[in-house]
Amino acid sequence: MIYGSILNRMPRRESPLNSEMLLGTLDMLVLQTLVLGPAHGHTIAHAIERGSEDVLQIEHGSLYPALHRLEDRGWIASFWGTSENNRKAKYYRLTPAGRKQLTAQTARWEQVVRAIGRILKPATE
Amino acid sequence: MSWRRFFRRADWDRERSAEIESYVQIETDENVARGMALADARAAARRKFGNATVVREEIYHMNTIAFLDTLARDARYALRALRRNPTFTTVAVLTLAVGIGANTAVFSVVNSVLLNPLRYPKPEQLVVLHQDAPGAAGLASFSKGLPLSTSMYFTYTEQNRSFQAMGVWTGNMANVTGSAEPEQVRVTVVSDGLLETLDVPPAAGRWLSHADQTPHGPERVMLSYDYWQRHFGGVPSTIGRNLIVDSRPREIVGVMPRGFRIADTAFDLLVPFQFDRNKAILAGFGLQGIARLKRGVTIAKANADMARLIPIWMNSWTNGPGTTGEDYKTWRITPALHSLRQEVVGGVTDVLWIVMATIGLVMLVACANVTSLLLVRGEVRQSELALRSALGAGRGRIVGSLLIESTALALTSGVLGAVLASAGVRVLQAIGPANLPRLTEISIDSRTLGFTLVLSVLSGLLLGLIPAWKYSRGRIATVLRSAGRTASLSRERHRVRDLLVIAQVAMALVLLVSAGLMIRTFQALRTIDPGFTESEHLQTIRINIPNSLVGDRDRVIRIENGIIDKLSAIPGVAAAGFASEMPMEGYPSGWDEIFAEGHTYPPGQIPPLFFFNYVSPGFFHAAGTRLVAGRELTWSEVYNRRRVVLLSENLARELWGTPAAAVGKHIRELSTEPWSEVIGVVQNVREKGVDQNPPETVYWSLDNPYIGVIRTATFVIRSHRAGTESFLNEVRHAVWSVNANLPVASPRTMQTVYDESLTRTSFTLVMLAIAGSMALLLGIIGIYGVISYAVSQRRREIGIRLALGAEQGALRGMFVRHALLLSAIGLTLGMMASVTLTGLMKSLLFGISPLDPLTYAVVPLVLVAATVLASYLPARRAAAVDPVEALRAE
């Protein structure tokens, strides 16, 4: 019992995508992936990796807290199904609220990107 | 996160694990498809995923309220720790449970009696129309004040500016006939305005109305809820039926709800006064008044208003031709309104608060004991706590877990205590004073349970505080270094437990002194001669001969004489007689203005008032009241309407100096009426209770010039068979053989009446004695615990001392002396506290001073003896230590 409580007090390792700014981004990427239809965690992870042409190298595990959070907020919903190669897998699909959230977030993201772009390359404008 | 998830987070974790496993499988499949070996494929998949535990933990924490989680874990840990030490836990839980149970039981009484005594709407507006009359001699020595007269009622109710409503009432008895056996019932007679003042709607039918009060109008009655249930089965068709009350039919118009009382007086029937305004005179002071104050009117303002009305009353009425109200100026009648609440609970407030405080002290003593136990446990757990803090547990966390442990202990005790309390309430109901309002309705309600909860949590925190404060300070190095070795402990470690013992002894002394004072009070009361003898052999019954049943005065006397004769003829009966009231029965008393022969009274001045009673021939002989001079009445004097009277000794002495001198003198009630001759003087009788001074009393024969012959009386029968059911049956048949329509009411022995008059004292005595013994017992356990712990901690030292040749007796003495020192300090502190605190119970004491020397001498001796006993046992163990073994054990 003593050891249990000690363990609990050890500082937890920060997961790579835990930093504030990236959190929102990852959410957006997950939602974007699901626009095409329901998918399970494995598919989503690979889709993000491939879609970014391997620029965004993530530990696939760190995706799961994000999925949990999104589901908690009601933006995605989950169900158990069977994968392409007959494995049991948990599928996620976009909810109407999630679709709305994606639109809003994408718009804001584009705003930010444009703004940053203007700051970084003012000369070319 | 959500609460749902918080409670289901274990399920969620399982689901996440399945999901992660599914990822790894799919990834492995793909890796195998790319041509990797299965083992490598799986390892690669794991690598790709990252640290699964961290992911799960992260999700788990998203579903967690960290504080609650810690709390739950500590609580589980605390319970497990308590289960591991069953002896400690049992002792601690039982000690606390008894304390909490006793406190809860007493609180339930305080709650329903003191905090919530009146069940009327807006009870704070209700006042009792009490008035003082310091100038009315005789009356001034009793606390009930001057009751209202009919004329006062009319003046006050018609002309006051302070009340929304007011009314008057008085208690009475009546016979109900017409069913199988005649029955005597409690009747409350109420005036117009009284029910409006109390403002409690009827349970069925309607209130008595103004019209029901018209003299010679239709006669109506209301029932109490209980009477309705008992005699009519609670059916609605009861309304409109007739009830034969005192041989006259009355129409039932309504039923008051369950538990409704007038002030604290319960009744069976409610009947209206039928005052005839034209016949009202100044005198006839026998009514209790209750009023409801208008919004914004204070008691002081209402008093001023009433003071304005008293001269108006004096000028508006007379006592017949040639008299005026001016005569009453010498009485100095002053209004002294007080709240109805005070009237109802006034007599028991002191008792209850003292009992509550006492029981609270016992709780503190119990807490001291359990704290002491926790400290011992803390010693044992030093190394565990040190290890925890060495491994990184913060100080807050350790304090928290200790507090949680003691709170868990206290809450467990609280549950058990609530169970004990519900049993305790039954006991309280059995021994509670008769004047405790609504004693039978006391129960454990939600407020009481709330009290139990708060008390448990508070005592839990209190208990945990000292150990937490002592053991949370990181002395890791010291403790770990000495782990396993019982080094002689620092003095500082003992000091807290010593202080606890001192406090316990001090509190036990206070409680025992209080209990001792009550025992001495009780003793003092038992030695008082109440004015009757062998009360357990005195059977009393109450008989009323209503006017409607027997109208003629001489026939009433013949019936009463006949009953006495029949009662005396029952086998085993030594004597019988009757009086309008037996001592301590508590019926409303009568007061007479008395003119005495040889005394002059200034014109226009009302002579002094004296308590009076009506007695039959042979009454004093039957009751065992001693004749001091002269003789008793005879039946021939009664039949011949001779004007003869007996006096109490104190009255005879006041009027004529000695009892013997009084015999042959004369008194009268009015200057216009003939004199009555004093034929005898009897010893003083404690009419109002053993602890109240005996009133100066006039004992009239059975005629009253205003109300006629005495029709309601308490018969007293002296017999060794008193109180048995067979005897009572014979008594009933003796009465019925004279007249079959007479109910035989209130059969009791004088012993019961006597005991009831002492319930306030005996209740306080029993409660304080229980509290005192509990404190004494806990104190002994406390001392025993401290000394035996000291012995066990100092085994090594004792071993060395023995090895060096210390005497066993000297060793024993060392420990006993330590205990005696603690106890002496406690006794000194307790003495100082007692001297202050027992002053508060002065109103409960009788015949002794709050500083009664005997009590103050005996109680400390008892405590010293207890200390020696409690410390000698463990000290003997110390002396029995085998030095070789004690040293080898290191």
**B293 band by pLDDT with thresholds 50, 70 and 90:** very high
CB-CB neighbors (< 8 A) of B52 in chain A: 61
Identify the burial level of B809 via C-beta atoms within 10 angstroms of its C-beta, where 0-12 means exposed, 13-18 middle and 19 or more buried: exposed
Q: Which residue of B has its CA nearest to A65?
A: B59
| Residue B480, min C-alpha distance to chain A (Å) | 16
Beta bridge partners of B242: B251
| Residue A103, min C-alpha distance to chain B (Å) | 25
* Residue B46 pLDDT > 80: yes
Test the B interface: residue of A18, A42, A90 with most B CBs within 10 Å: A42
Q: Tens of pLDDT along B109-127? A: 888 777 766 778 888 889 9
- Give the pLDDT of residue A10: 35
Q: Is B858 helix (H, G, I), strand (E, B) or coil?
A: helix
B676-682 and B708-709 beta bridge pairing: unpaired
CB-CB neighbors (< 8 A) of A11 in chain B: none
**B680 band by pLDDT with thresholds 50, 70 and 90:** very high
* Residue B108 pLDDT > 80: yes
Kindly state the average pLDDT of the residues B58-68: 69
| A83:B26 CB<8 A | yes
- Give the pLDDT of residue B223: 92
Residue B250 is encoded by which pair of tokens?
A: 């009355």
| Residue B2, min C-alpha distance to chain A (Å) | 9
| A72:B5 CB<8 A | yes
| Residue A61, min C-alpha distance to chain B (Å) | 4
Q: Is A12 helix (H, G, I), strand (E, B) or coil?
A: coil
Contact B296, B224 (CB under 8 A): no
CB-CB neighbors (< 8 A) of B19 in chain A: 41, 64, 89-90
| A12:B58 CB<8 A | yes
* Residue B484 pLDDT > 60: no
- For B23, the closest of A1, A41, A72 (CB atoms) is A41
Chain B residues 41-70 with a CB less than 8 Å from chain A? 48-52, 54-55, 57-59, 62
**A6 band by pLDDT with thresholds 50, 70 and 90:** very low
| A64:B392 CB<8 A | no
Kindly state the average pLDDT of the residues B517-541: 87
DSSP calls for B189-208: EE-TTHHHHHT---SEE---
* Residue B169 pLDDT > 80: yes
Q: Lowest-confidence range among A51-65, B173-187, B610-624?
A: A51-65
User: Which secondary-structure segment (H or E) carries B743?
Assistant: none
| B51:A69 CB<8 A | no
| A64:B59 CB<8 A | yes
| Residue B1, min C-alpha distance to chain A (Å) | 7
Q: Tens of pLDDT along B349-374? A: 777 888 888 888 888 888 888 888 88
| B22:A59 CB<8 A | no
- Give the pLDDT of residue B252: 92
- Give the pLDDT of residue A113: 83
- Give the pLDDT of residue B527: 84
Kindly state the average pLDDT of the residues B220-228: 91
Q: Tens of pLDDT along B10-23? A: 777 788 888 888 88
**B142 band by pLDDT with thresholds 50, 70 and 90:** low
CB-CB neighbors (< 8 A) of A15 in chain B: 50, 54-55, 58
CB-CB neighbors (< 8 A) of B23 in chain A: 40-42, 45, 60, 89
B32 touches chain A (CB under 8 A): no
- Give the pLDDT of residue B291: 92
Q: Which residue of B has its CA nearest to A10?
A: B392
| Residue A109, min C-alpha distance to chain B (Å) | 26
Q: Which residue of B has its CA nearest to A83?
A: B26
- Give the pLDDT of residue B621: 92
Phi–psi pair at B844, nearest 5 degrees? -95, -10
* Residue B203 pLDDT > 50: yes
More confident residue, B25 or B345: B25
Kindly state the average pLDDT of the residues A92-121: 87
| A61:B57 CB<8 A | no
- Give the pLDDT of residue B718: 93
Test the A interface: residue of B30, B34, B42, B49 with most A CBs within 10 Å: B49
- Give the pLDDT of residue A13: 39
CB-CB neighbors (< 8 A) of A60 in chain B: 23, 27, 48-50
CB-CB neighbors (< 8 A) of A12 in chain B: 54, 57-58
| Residue A35, min C-alpha distance to chain B (Å) | 21
Q: Tens of pLDDT along B562-610? A: 999 999 999 989 999 999 888 887 665 667 778 888 887 776 667 777 8
**B469 band by pLDDT with thresholds 50, 70 and 90:** confident
Q: Lowest-confidence range among B172-176, B233-237, B490-494, B759-763?
A: B490-494
Kindly state the average pLDDT of the residues A30-45: 87
Contact B850, B833 (CB under 8 A): no
DSSP calls for B588-647: PPEEEE-EETT----TT-PPPEEEEEEB-TTHHHHHTPPEEEE----HHHHHTT--EEEE
B163-177 and B183-190 beta bridge pairing: antiparallel
Q: Which residue of B has its CA nearest to A42?
A: B23
Q: Tens of pLDDT along B647-671? A: 999 899 988 888 888 888 888 887 7
Q: Tens of pLDDT along B614-647? A: 999 999 999 999 999 889 999 988 888 888 999 9
| A5:B1 CB<8 A | no
| Residue A62, min C-alpha distance to chain B (Å) | 6
Residue with tokens 């009490």: B130
Q: Lowest-confidence range among B152-161, B704-713, B747-756?
A: B704-713
**Percent of chain A topping pLDDT 90:** 4
- Give the pLDDT of residue B139: 57
Contact B210, B183 (CB under 8 A): no
Q: How many residues does chain A have?
A: 125
- Give the pLDDT of residue B617: 92
Interface contacts (A, B; CB < 8 Å)? 89
Q: Which residue of B has its CA nearest to A64?
A: B55
Test the B interface: residue of A19, A64, A69, A83 with most B CBs within 10 Å: A64
d(CA B80, CA B70): 15
Cα Rg, chain A, nearest whole Å: 18
More confident residue, B861 or A123: B861
**Percent of chain B topping pLDDT 90:** 11
B22 touches chain A (CB under 8 A): yes
Chain B residues 348-387 with a CB less than 8 Å from chain A? 384, 387
**B481 band by pLDDT with thresholds 50, 70 and 90:** low
Q: Which residue of A has its CA nearest to B24?
A: A42
d(CA B299, CA B736): 52
CB atoms within 10 A of CB A1: 11
- Give the pLDDT of residue A16: 42
Beta bridge partners of B712: B544
| Residue A119, min C-alpha distance to chain B (Å) | 37
CB atoms within 10 A of CB B408: 21
| B49:A40 CB<8 A | no
Kindly state the average pLDDT of the residues A100-125: 81
* Residue B423 pLDDT > 50: yes
Beta bridge partners of B629: B681
Q: Tens of pLDDT along B390-412? A: 777 777 777 887 888 888 888 88
| A90:B19 CB<8 A | yes
* Residue B818 pLDDT > 80: yes
| B26:A72 CB<8 A | no
Test the B interface: residue of A23, A54, A57, A68 with most B CBs within 10 Å: A68
- Give the pLDDT of residue B3: 60
B434, B208, B192, B173: which is closest to B290 by C-alpha?
B192
Kindly state the average pLDDT of the residues A28-56: 82
Average pLDDT in chain B: 82
- Give the pLDDT of residue B717: 92
| A42:B23 CB<8 A | yes
- Give the pLDDT of residue B253: 92
**B222 band by pLDDT with thresholds 50, 70 and 90:** very high
Q: Tens of pLDDT along B501-522? A: 888 888 888 888 888 888 888 8
- CA torsion through residues A36, A41, A43, A49, sign: positive
Q: Which residues of B203-240 are buried (b: 16+ CB within 10 A; e: fewer)?
A: bbbebbeeebbeeeeebbbbbbbbbbeebbeeeeebbe
pTM beyond 0.95, yes or no: no
CB-CB neighbors (< 8 A) of B22 in chain A: 40-42, 83, 87-90
Beta bridge partners of A39: A92
**B752 band by pLDDT with thresholds 50, 70 and 90:** confident
**A2 band by pLDDT with thresholds 50, 70 and 90:** very low
